[in-house]
Structure 1
Amino acid sequence: MSIKLVSWNVNGIRAVSKKDEFWDWFTNTDADIINFQEVRSTQDQIPKKLANVDGFNHAFNEAEKKGYSGVGTYSKIEPVSITKGLGIEELDKEGRVLKIEYPDFILYNIYFPNSGMGAKRLDYKVDFCNALLEQVVELKNEGKNVVITGDYNIAHHPIDVYNPKNCEGKSGYLPEEREWLDELEKAGFVDTFRLFDESENNFTWWSYRTRARERNAGWRLDYFYVNEEIKDKVKAAEILSEVYGSDHCPVTLELDF
């Protein structure tokens, strides 16, 4: 069975739903599972056209703070179970995690924290990342297949940012953040996009402030990671940089079970 997944930080689901570019993509996608981050909406505020989409069931996890964070997943495949959060109260108030179990794998749709100006939230981010790592390693050791997607808010390597020297010391490119992705890979998880493309200038986020997308002066912040045991089941992984509507673009993963 072939399964196609998409992940997209939409930078506000109510805002993006007003854009033709979003609907051009959404109505034509062949994805089986669509993951949104930075939904920034309570479930009762989801636009009517997205509240009930034919052929998809959906789940959302919202932040306690209104208009902030949040994730949502639309799926043509019936989930076995849906869990909101990591199960740690102090890390789950911002609605950043949906854990969805399917027959062949467990999917994490995550909007990772931003470490903030002056790294003021770096400790919180590291705690969040480490709690996630502990959980996915445990599942992997139990023989479960795991897919981790979303906006990681981390650019891993110099190749993943437009101007590496200029990015040093900036949130999203801090040593502690990048080292965590090293740890994720050491624990047996694979960056699926790099299985197919090792080239430069593959980005998923561009600052609105500097019109960076016109110059492709971006960062790669959005990923699909899978446990190494299913690496050979990964058939494709792409960045849909031609899709507009947000300051991020969608990323995709195709698995063949």
Structure 2
Amino acid sequence: MSPSLKRTLSSTHRSISPPPIQRKIPRSTKHVADTRSVTPHAHADADQFRIFSWNVNGVGPLLQKQLSFSTDPALSPLRTFLKRHAWPHFLCLQEVKMNSKDTATQRRLQSAANEGVTSDEPCYTLHVSLPRDKYNATGFGGKVHGVATLIRDDVVANVRATRRPDWDLEGRVLIHELNPGLVIINGYWVNGTTNPYRDPSTGKVVGTRHDHKLRFHNMMLAEACKFEEEGKYVVLIGDMNIARARIDGYPNLRTTPVQHVTNRADFNAKFFTEETGLRGIDVFRHIHGDTRKYSYRPRGKQWGDSGDRVDLCIVSRQLVEELNAVTDTDICDNAIDRGHSDHVPLWICIDILKLKANTTIKTSMPSDHSIVDPRSIAEK
């Protein structure tokens, strides 16, 4: 490997809708997105900070074979994805399905992101948070859950800190604090089921995954509100495992068992409607109104037969209403961008100049402008 590709792998081991009536929705172009790529090329300039998010349902295919969107055999599918989407500054991946001890696969993932790099193209640095819960994240040899973030190297100097919260033992959250005053939280939110949830310390069953999902909502809310209290602007992005309203599910919104309705109400209240909550903005709905696009597209059905908008980007209200800094967003609701996964990517553009001009946060950088993490994994 050439010196230019040697990178540090930072591992941070550490409105509410009632149940809808049963209905048949006529098949129309509103529900069946075309297969053209949705790419924000118009915003691929220095002032537009672009964040992509994708639940990849396992990184294996990104490392091992060409996918439907691959056109250059010299590039990995991951590098091809980054190139065709005009080199986003952040790529937040969820459900990466890597064992926490498998540093070789982590290195392969970073290498794949930088494969075939030329002198006029950017490189990426990888950060990961992987499961360390010996009772609740043990299936498939520990290859469950997990999030990873690829950060373009020309913006790494603006990342003040990357960490995973201590309460997250399942490898679901990565928090990135940037200058000026922007916090990006990459999250793979808990999916509510009736399966048992065990106390991480004792292994004793203490409820269901539905109960754990509600606790996860509380912890994510606390993280986001803490940053807002410090005067920072928060971007929550990732697979949140919630379709917010009837318009977000096709042909139906999931309402049984009833706990899904409870989970949805809790999510909407905490992050959108309660005065004591985040009161965030769902940027896709803010910009695209009642447009129907979906981020979950199951592979067991014909394209267009089913979909749910469960991958979201929620931002601090001030980022939109005061700074007008969110310039665009969309969902890549097409079969090509789904690739090997059962989810498609989504993205958001933020005008970084507006953020810099209006922020009142006084930040300081380390003297060498580096991220210091004693748990980093140095590539050998």
TM-score by length of 1: 0.89
Q: Which runs of 5+ in 1 are unaligned?
A: none
Percent pairwise identity: 23
In structure 1, C-alpha distance between the alignment counterparts of 2:259 and 2:347, rounded to whole Å = 21
In structure 2, C-alpha distance between the alignment counterparts of 1:135 and 1:69, rounded to whole Å = 20
* SS of 2:297 mapped into structure 1: coil
1:218 corresponds to = 307
Give the 5 Å matches for 1:23-62. Answer: 23=77, 24-30=80-86, 31-42=88-99, 43-46=103-106, 48=108, 50-51=110-111, 53=114, 55-62=123-130
1:87 corresponds to = 166
Larger RCO (alpha carbons 8 Å, 6+ apart): 2
1:229 corresponds to = 318
Is 2:150 the partner of 1:74? yes
Cα RMSD between the aligned structures? 2.1
In structure 2, C-alpha distance between the alignment counterparts of 1:19 and 1:170, rounded to whole Å = 39
In structure 1, C-alpha distance between the alignment counterparts of 2:213 and 2:186, rounded to whole Å = 16
In structure 2, C-alpha distance between the alignment counterparts of 1:175 and 1:239, rounded to whole Å = 26
In structure 2, C-alpha distance between the alignment counterparts of 1:20 and 1:83, rounded to whole Å = 31
Out of 2, 15, 21, which is 2:68 matched to? 21
In structure 1, C-alpha distance between the alignment counterparts of 2:67 and 2:252, rounded to whole Å = 34
In structure 1, C-alpha distance between the alignment counterparts of 2:259 and 2:163, rounded to whole Å = 27
- 1:126 Cα shift? 0.6
Q: Could you list the per-position Cα deviations for residues 26-82 of structure 1 after superposition, in whole angstroms to 9, with x for gaps in the alignment?
A: 332221110000000144223736336252111011113421000000111212101
For these two proteins, the number of residue pairs brought into alignment is 250
**Greater displacement, 54-63 / 234-243:** 54-63
Is 2:299 the partner of 1:208? yes
- 1:95 Cα shift? 0.5
- 1:161 Cα shift? 0.3
Is 2:226 the partner of 1:134? no
* SS of 2:349 mapped into structure 1: strand
Which ranges of 4 or more aligned residues in structure 1 deviate by more than 6 Å? none
Q: Could you list the per-position Cα deviations for residues 142-199 of structure 1 after superposition, in whole angstroms to 9, with x for gaps in the alignment?
A: 211111001000000110001336x212599432234322321132211011111123
* SS of 1:4 mapped into structure 2: strand
**Does the aligned pair in 1 maintain the 2:110–2:125 contact within 8 Å?**
no
TM-score by length of 2: 0.62
In structure 1, C-alpha distance between the alignment counterparts of 2:146 and 2:217, rounded to whole Å = 17
**Does the aligned pair in 2 maintain the 1:117–1:171 contact within 8 Å?**
no
2:252 corresponds to = 164
